């Protein structure tokens, strides 16, 4: 209800809210020009279905929040039954605002991924790739779902040394190649999409400090993989290959920050792996063999907390005066007592002048 009844809270929420009334209704969808539309077809169909129930953005928010939260609760209940509440807690602290109020299109693709996880684990790839195609008609970033079955061949066993080598290898390759041109040549995208990607490359590129900072943010993943390898940990559901793929996206993000958006698809699997590893380490390993492992665990918690804090507390005065990243979420107002926050409105307006693709 916090997500569903919010009033003009969330950066992307304001963009989709402004676009909502121009979306076709269900009886108009067959006349809609999808070729020149800003977003993908199933996004407009989803909006049309919501408008057919009630022609208000609040109705859309409630339906969206029900889908997202029920999906994640079900996913954690099914794949992390021993530590269900802890998984929800980690998700709530680190990702909940972002997933519920910010990446409204992309999170629907992540929900599709979570519902298709069963087919991924059972290697029923035809069913899985049908889900991938559906997700692609909502958001282009869902292309990353197509490589997930391959991860079980590439990352068959957790190995932290391999992770480090791969991290620096991806960093070097990303710095040397022309990423936009490569994407266009591989997927045969049009010139307009190339221009958008190039704009992202210019706006969101990293300097040396930014590159080192991205590597530092990856340490919790590396620490978890090291702990599992050192202590021979195994789970009923093996999500380590998906978690290990985060090294590839982190390496890309050191040069092109927007590549970090692909980490969103790995986040639910990382949460489960993180929670299982932490609890198994605390309850099943002998204390006399824990000296180094305890230090690594503590460091992982500190860095993970730092990552969460950095996202919410980062100074964004370069976008709008006297703002931080949390300004898109706080102060919170509901439709029961609607208030327009001028600082948030100005921040979002300036922020979305810089980028329009993701």
Q: What is the pLDDT of residues 226-278, one digit of tens each?
A: 777 777 777 778 888 888 888 777 777 666 666 778 889 989 999 998 888 88
Query: What is the average pLDDT across 147-176?
Result: 73
> Does residue 95 sit in the same domain as residue 178?
no
Q: Is 92 exposed, middle or buried (0-12, 13-18, 19+ CB in 10 A)?
A: middle
> Does residue 88 sit in the same domain as residue 168?
no
> Does residue 99 sit in the same domain as residue 163?
no
Lowest-pLDDT range of 8-22, 187-201, 232-246: 187-201
- Residue 286, pLDDT > 90, answer no
> Does residue 159 sit in the same domain as residue 307?
yes
CA atoms lying within 13 Å on the CB side of residue 33: 4
Among 102, 121, 153, the domain boundary falls at: 153
Phi and psi torsions of 102, nearest 5°? -120, -65
Max Cα-Cα span within the chain = 70
Res 355: pLDDT: 46
Instruction: Give the residue, 174 or 70, on which the prediction is more confident.
Output: 70
Lowest-pLDDT range of 15-19, 68-72, 189-193, 326-330: 189-193
> Does residue 104 sit in the same domain as residue 116?
yes
> Does residue 42 sit in the same domain as residue 169?
no
- Residue 200, pLDDT > 60, answer no
Res 190: pLDDT: 53
**Per the domain annotation, does 330 fall within a domain?**
no
Res 158: pLDDT: 66
- Residue 140, pLDDT > 80, answer yes
Beta-carbon contacts of 113 under 8 Å, excluding residues fewer than 6 positions away, are 131, 135, 142, 145, 148, 265
Tell which phi-psi region holds residue 8, choosing left (phi > 0), alpha (psi between -120 and 50) or beta: left
Domain span at residue 189 reads: 155-313
Residue 151: closest CA among 269, 245, 265, 250: 245
Write down the mean pLDDT value for the chain: 79
Among 153, 188, 220, the domain boundary falls at: 153
Instruction: Give the residue, 1 or 254, on which the prediction is more confident.
Output: 1
- Cβ atoms of 228 and 252 within 8 Å: the answer is no
Phi and psi torsions of 6, nearest 5°? -70, 155
Kindly indicate the confidence band of residue 35, based on its pLDDT and cuts at 50, 70 and 90: confident
**Per the domain annotation, does 328 fall within a domain?**
no
Res 281: pLDDT: 75
Q: Is 41 exposed, middle or buried (0-12, 13-18, 19+ CB in 10 A)?
A: middle
Kindly indicate the confidence band of residue 358, based on its pLDDT and cuts at 50, 70 and 90: very low
Percent of the chain with pLDDT over 90: 25
- Residue 351, pLDDT > 90, answer no
Measured CA to CA, the distance from residue 157 to residue 145 in angstroms comes to: 20
- Number of domains within the chain: 2
Dihedral angle computed from the Cα positions of residues 74, 76, 78 and 84, in that order, rounded to the nearest 10 degrees: -120
> Does residue 117 sit in the same domain as residue 252?
no
Range of 43-47, 215-219, 246-250 with top mean pLDDT = 43-47
Lowest-pLDDT range of 61-70, 156-165, 242-251, 292-301: 292-301
> Does residue 252 sit in the same domain as residue 285?
yes
Res 34: pLDDT: 79
pLDDT 10s digits, 111-131: 999 999 999 999 899 999 999
Query: What is the average pLDDT across 295-308?
Result: 68
Res 135: pLDDT: 93
Among 127, 153, 179, the domain boundary falls at: 153
**Per the domain annotation, does 64 fall within a domain?**
yes
pLDDT 10s digits, 78-109: 999 988 988 998 898 888 989 999 889 999 99
Alpha helices, H only, the chain: 11-20, 41-53, 57-79, 84-94, 96-101, 104-115, 117-121, 125-136, 148-154, 160-176, 179-187, 191-203, 208-217, 219-231, 240-244, 246-253, 263-284, 291-313, 342-351
Res 292: pLDDT: 60
């Amino acid at each position: 209800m916090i997500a569903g009844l919010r009033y003009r809270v969330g950066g992307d929420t304001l963009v989709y809210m402004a676009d909502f009334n121009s979306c076709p209704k269900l009886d108009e969808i067959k006349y809609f020009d999808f070729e020149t539309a800003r977003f993908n077809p199933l996004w407009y169909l989803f909006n049309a279905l919501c408008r057919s129930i009630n022609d208000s953005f609040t109705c859309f928010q409630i339906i969206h929040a029900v889908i997202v939260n029920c999906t994640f609760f079900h996913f954690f209940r099914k794949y992390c039954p021993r530590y269900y509440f802890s998984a929800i807690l980690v998700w709530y602290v680190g990702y909940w605002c972002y997933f519920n109020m910010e990446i409204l299109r992309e999170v629907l693709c992540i929900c599709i991924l979570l519902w298709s996880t069963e087919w991924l684990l059972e290697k029923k790839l035809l069913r899985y790739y049908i889900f991938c195609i559906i997700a692609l008609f909502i958001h282009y970033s869902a292309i990353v779902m197509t490589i997930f079955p391959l991860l079980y061949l590439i990352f068959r066993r957790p190995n932290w040394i391999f992770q480090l080598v791969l991290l620096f290898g991806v960093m070097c390759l990303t710095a040397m190649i022309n990423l936009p041109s490569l994407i266009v040549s591989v997927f045969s995208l049009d010139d307009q999409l190339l221009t958008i990607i190039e704009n992202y490359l210019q706006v969101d590129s990293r300097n040396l400090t930014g590159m080192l900072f991205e590597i530092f943010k990856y340490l919790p993943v590396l620490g978890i993989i090291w702990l599992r390898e050192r202590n021979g940990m195994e789970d009923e559901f093996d999500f380590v290959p998906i978690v290990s793929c985060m090294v590839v996206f982190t390496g890309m993000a050191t040069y092109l920050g927007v590549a970090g958006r692909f980490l969103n698809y790995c986040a639910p699997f990382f949460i489960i792996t993180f929670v299982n590893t932490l609890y198994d380490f605390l309850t099943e390993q002998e204390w006399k063999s824990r000296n180094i492992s305890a230090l690594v665990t503590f460091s992982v918690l500190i860095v993970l907390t730092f990552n969460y804090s950095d996202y919410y507390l980062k100074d964004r005065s370069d976008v709008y005066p006297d703002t931080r990243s949390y300004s898109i979420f706080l102060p919170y107002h509901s439709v029961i007592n609607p208030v327009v926050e001028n600082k948030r409105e100005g921040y979002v307006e300036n922020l979305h002048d810089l980028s329009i693709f993701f």
